[in-house]
Each structure stands twice: as C-alpha cells, then as structure tokens.
Chain A
Amino acid sequence: MDEKTVVVRDLVKDFPGVRAIDHLSFDVAPGEIFGIVGPDGAGKTTTMRILAGVLAPDGGGATVARCDVVADPEGVKNLISYMPQRFGLYEDLTVDENIRFYADLFGVSRRDRESRAGELLKSCGMSEFRGRQAGKLSGGMKQKLGLVCALIHTPRVLLLDEPTNGVDPVSRREFWVMLYSLVGQGVTVVNSTAYLDEAERCHRVALLHQGRLLFCDSPARLKSRLQGSVVSIVSVEARRVRDELAAAEGVSSVVLVGDAVHLFVDDAERRIPDLSARLIGRQIPFDEIVRVTPSIEDLFVEAVRKDSTRVAA
C-alpha cells in the first residue's frame, strides 16, 4: 500500500463539560475524497480544525502529508488549504482582492495567480463577478469563491468543513465537479458534511457520532456490512406509519425519507407480511411496501442507534 496522506491516531479533544473527539483514528489515502459525516455536535468541525493546525488536540496525534499537526502546526499550513464552516473571506474585499490576498499569503507568483484564477473562476461561472465585493455574492458563489481562494496555491490536502451547507443544488453540483477535477491533479480532499446524499459521492466516509468513529469505509461497503435490511413503505400518511410501526417486532429503527418510511428490520422477507397486515388492521393507507438497498442515511440512523444502545448498556 502507498503511504497515507492523512493519518489520525487516537485523537482526543475536550471542551469544558464535553468530550468533542473521543479516541478517533482513521487514514486517508492520496487522491481520495474522504467524507466526515455526522450530525451537529458529532465532532466534524473540531476534527477539521485539528487537521488544519488551528486547534491543538488534548491527546493522540495526526499527520497531514507527513507533517505532524501537534508538533509542527505551522508546517502543516504550507501543505493545506482550509475552508472553515463559516465563510472566512473578507466581505468588504472584491473577488479579485480576496484571491490576490490568499495568493500573496501562499507566495503564488503573479503570473501563476492570474492564469489559475482565470481558469478557476471560469470553471465555476464566476468570471463576470471579479470586481464584486464578496459580501454581495450569493451563498453558493461565496462557497465557490472560498474554493477558488483555497486552490490558488496547490495544496497537498484540501480541508473543507461543510462546504455545501446552505448552498443551492446547482452550485452544489458545480462544487462537486470542481472537487472531482482536483483528484485528477493529485489533491487529497477531506470534507465534512451533514448531508448524507453528499457522503455517497465520497470515495470513503467516516461516520462520526458524539466524537466517536462508528464506521470508516466506502459507501458501498458500508451498505453491505450492516446486518439486516431496509423496508420502504410509501404512504400519504407516512408519519402515522412511522408511529405505528416504530415499536413493531423485528424493527430496530425508523426514519422518514420524504413521503416514505424506512424501517430497519432483522429480516425483510419475513417481516413484510406482518407489517402490512398491521397497517391494514389500523386502516392506515399505503401504496407500496418493498425491500430496498439501504441508503447512507438509513445506515447512519441504524449505526447511531446501535452506538447509543451500546453506550446505554
């Protein structure tokens, strides 16, 4: 195996009254798009900050492109670009002024800056906004500008903390196109997200819950590794279905997905007759009841449930 680009070992970070990161370990291979997935408070931002060298952990360690973030946090900063969750650029500076500022901080030559900025802005459809102040851009354009500034030098690792949070679907798609093109250039991407559909676009994902790692594998492997199966029931009264079947025999977790209810069950083929009979008995209407391949969201809910019962026990 080739050497890992990001290595996280036994990382611990405490904040007053809460353990934000609880003995976290994972690796990221070169050229990977790695997703850190979890609900709010899972420890995603804290992990990103430690990797970016702006926050010191309380235990364990991490290396980014062979540089130790604990021993040499400043050394890491030449190797990465970090986009914080909150917009980190200057709203009173124009698009071009922000780009120039970050190019200067990373020592990018003027010629490189001009060709690269032109290319990047063109690829995300922002060429005509170069003179506009960043504060007057839409949410999606702000994030794309953030990515342009992050890529104005050539980072070994790109750290993106919830980059598509609050971004419209079109901009999200463009954002991902840019990320995929980076991988071709040998950049490793670590990005955190609370959107589970985005997690499926990553090469590998780490599921975080309350600072602990639940799973770390490719989205496909994660799906096949979880035991049990998912039953999907489409109904106009999805909430009633959920409430009725949450405690049914063999059902371990229930989640609403649009107008469908996904039930995590021990054995789909065996349970489907019981479940449909129960709904008919209660006169709750439903259109179909089928076994489906679990989505990341299903897996996540199930994984969190198992983790919570483990903690409780």
Chain B
Amino acid sequence: MNLRRLLAISRKEVIQVLRDTRSLLIVLLMPLMLMSVLGYGVNLDTKHIRVFALDEEGSQASQDLLRRFQSSEYFDLVAIVTDYRALATALDDGRCQLAIVIPYDFSARLHDGRPVNIQALVDGSDNNTAELAIGYAQGVIASYGAVVQAEYLRKSHAPSVNPVLSVEPRTWFNEDLESKNFIVPGVAAIVMAVVGVLLTSLTVAREWERGTMEQLISTPVTSLEIIIGKLLPYFALGMFDTAACAAIAVLWFQVPFRGSLIALSAGSGIYLIAILGLGFWISVATKQQLAASQIGLVTAFLPSFLLSGFTFPIDQMPAGVQPFTYFIAARYYIVILKSVFLRGIGVSFLAGPLIALVIYASVMVLLAKLSFRKSLA
C-alpha cells in the first residue's frame, strides 16, 4: 500500500465533495433535518388522552371520580355529556379517544358495597394509544376504588387495613419515561446510515458512469488504495455528523449524556466503517448511481429505521422478523448509543455489540475488497 496514492484518491474525493453542493448539503443538513423531524415528530408518549364522560348519575361520588381523570396528566377531560349518542358520535369523529360511562346507580352501589361496572369505550384504531388509555383508566379507577373501599370499611367499623402488597415502581435510565430520550440518541445511527451509504454508494458508481474508472484502473493504484482512499473523507464526514448529532441531542433536546466519550467514538467509528463498506460494496455491485442510491436507501435507511430497535423494540417484533435484525449494523450501534447516553456505562459493558460491529465491519470491507476488481466487465 502506497500512502501517496491513497492520499491522492482522498484529496480528489474531498475536492469532488466540496464542489458537489448536493452531497455537501446532504452531509451538513441531514443531522439537523433528521434530528428535528425525529426529535419533535416521533412522540411515543401517550399523554393528554382526550376523554368524554357520560355521567348518568351526577352525584358527589361520580364527580369525584371524574375529577381524578381531570387531574391526571394522562387524560384531558374534554366534555361531560348527557346522552349515550353524543358519546358515540364523539368517538366516531375522533373528538375523544376514550369514553367513560358512569352508571345511574353508581353511588348507591358504592354505598351498599356492591360491585360497580364502569364502561370504558376506547378508540382502537391506534392500538398503542388504546392499550395505554385502558391501562391508565384502570389505574385511575382502581385507585379511586381503593379510597372508596377504605371509606366503606371505616364506616362499618372494621379495623383499618392497609394493603399488604404494593408496587413502588421506579424507572432507571429514563426516569420520566420520555420517548424523546429514547429516540434522539438513536438518530445518529440513521443519519450515518443515510450519509454513509448514500454518499459512498454514489462514489464508485459515478466513476463507472462518467468513464473515469477506466483510466483510473489503468494506473498502478491498488484496489485497497482506492477503497480506503475513497472511504477516508466520508469517514471524516460521518464522524463530523455523529458529533453534530450528539451535540444537538445534549444541547438542544437536553438528553442526558452519562457514558464515556471514548465508548461513543469507538462505537461510532466501527459502525461507520461497516456502513461505508456496505455503501462501497453496493456501488461496486451496481455500477450505476441511480440503482446504487435506491439499493442504499432500501438496505441501509429503511432497515436502520424500522428493524434496528430505533423506533420499535426488537423483542416485540414478530418472531419471523427478529432474525433479520441481526443483519442490520444499526441494531448494535443503537444499543451502544442508548447505553452511552442514558445508562452511562463504559466500553467494557458494551463488548457484545462492539464485537458484533467489528465483525460486521470486517465482513463489509472484505466484501468491498473482493467485489472490486481493477478490470472492466
């Protein structure tokens, strides 16, 4: 390997990127764009669920229960209606996501210690929100039920009882369970997948399309010098974008950064090599810019987004889909990102995903090397 030839390739590539405003814009704007779209746009938190209530009784007790809904941050009690049809219409046109019906004999049954059924109608077209709404509603009603029960027991002069078992949940790493903290650190993986695969997939294909490859391969430059020389500038750009993403995450979105910078840099560097290798391989295999960018999008961007655990937890995916996630580099990198940002653990705890990424990167570079021949056809 000749360093001078390698650097000549890199220098040429840098000049070309700097003169190609389209590539430059992708590099500079992608972190900003994806950060704002995903940081603000993807919100998996379910708060302020819109609630309509039909209070058939209108007693002190029923209003107590509704007040509990109102004071919960998970619910917005939008309206209290007087007939069932209004409730159904509100559900139909989406003015409410949850409808509660308190029966006419609510306080009487409570008074007698008979069981009371409260009807909850939920809009199931968004199943995630629906499940959370039911869960939260059960929580609100159960806690009210416990108060009523204690009151009843006190009135009947029974010795006061405290619940024997109770759960005091405390969430670690993301104390407020904010989806922002879960999403934002992972954006770097998406940005790098797009920048890395898209730009590198174009770089070799462009040379074939413009006819410059034929002259390049007639010189003494070796295929490894071409690969490394071409990837070096994109590696620098990718690391720049990672730093930009981390800075935006911490400074703008106030995501905690608890881990080591070394772990982040090591993970990012290895992930980037894997991604760049993949892009190079695609470029060599297609030899056409359009095909390369489309395959790049399908093999890097979409899986990194959908199958890496970035948005959807992998263990909740269908069993048939889960094995495919092992072929996605972002899967390992996202574990590293989330750990470094939220859990604050060091390199030693991340040996698993780091080793996986090293293997992944080696395979990709090897594939790039094997598929790239200094020969026509």
Contact = CB atoms under 8 A, between A and B. Distances in A.
B211 interface: yes
Given A89-B212, A91-B210, A93-B12, A105 B219 contact: yes
Interface string A102-126: 1011110000000000000000000
Nearest to A94: B15
Interface in B4-22: 4-5, 7-8, 11-12, 15-16, 19-20
A54 B12 contact: no
B20 A92 contact: yes
A104 B210 CA distance: 21
Contact of B221 (A56, A73, A105): A105
B15 A92 contact: yes
A55 B19 CA distance: 32
B214 interface: yes
Contact of A88 (B16, B19, B212): B212
B16 A104 contact: no
Contacts of A56: 375
B218 interface: yes
> Quick one: which of B16, B214, B218 has the most chain A CB within 10 A?
B218
B71 interface: no
B369 interface: no
A91 B220 CA distance: 21
B225 to A, nearest CB: 9
Contact of B215 (A55, A78, A88, A104): A88
A83 B5 contact: no
B214 A105 contact: no
A90 B212 contact: yes
A78 B220 contact: yes
A52 B220 CA distance: 11
A84 B16 contact: no
Nearest to A135: B210
A77 interface: yes
Given A55-B375, A93-B15, A83 B220 contact: no
A92 B24 CA distance: 14
Contacts of B376: 49, 54-55
Interface string B208-235: 0011101111111110000000000000
Given A83-B215, A104-B5, A55 B377 contact: yes
A86 B11 CA distance: 23
A106 B99 CA distance: 77
Given A55-B375, A55-B377, A87-B211, A77 B12 contact: no
Contact of A54 (B8, B212, B214, B220): B214
Given A104-B8, A105-B5, A53 B16 contact: no
A87 B207 CA distance: 12
Interface of B: 2, 4-5, 7-8, 11-12, 15-16, 19-20, 210-212, 214-222, 374-377
Contacts, number: 75
Given A89-B212, A92-B19, A106 B12 contact: no
A176 interface: no
B93 to A, nearest CB: 56
B16 A105 contact: no
A107 B4 contact: yes
Given A90-B12, A90-B16, A105-B5, A74 B374 contact: yes
A88 B214 CA distance: 7
Contacts of A100: 8
Contact of B374 (A54, A81, A104): A54
Contacts of A106: 219-220
A234 B368 CA distance: 62
A268 to B, nearest CB: 46
A84 B375 contact: no
A93 B221 contact: no
A264 interface: no
Contacts of B216: 88
A101 B222 CA distance: 15
A52 B210 CA distance: 19
Contacts of B218: 52-54, 77, 80-82, 84
A105 B222 CA distance: 10
B233 to A, nearest CB: 14
Contacts of A86: 211, 214
A97 interface: yes
B5 to A, nearest CB: 5
A35 B8 CA distance: 33
Contacts of B15: 92-93, 97
Nearest to B375: A54
Contacts of A91: 210
A84 B219 contact: no
Nearest to A107: B4
13 contacts: A55-B377, A73-B374, A77-B218, A83-B215, A86-B211, A86-B214, A87-B211, A88-B211, A88-B214, A105-B219, A105-B220, A105-B221, A107-B5
Contacts of A74: 220, 222, 374
Given A55-B377, A101-B11, A102-B219, 5 more contacts: A53-B218, A54-B375, A78-B220, A80-B218, A100-B8
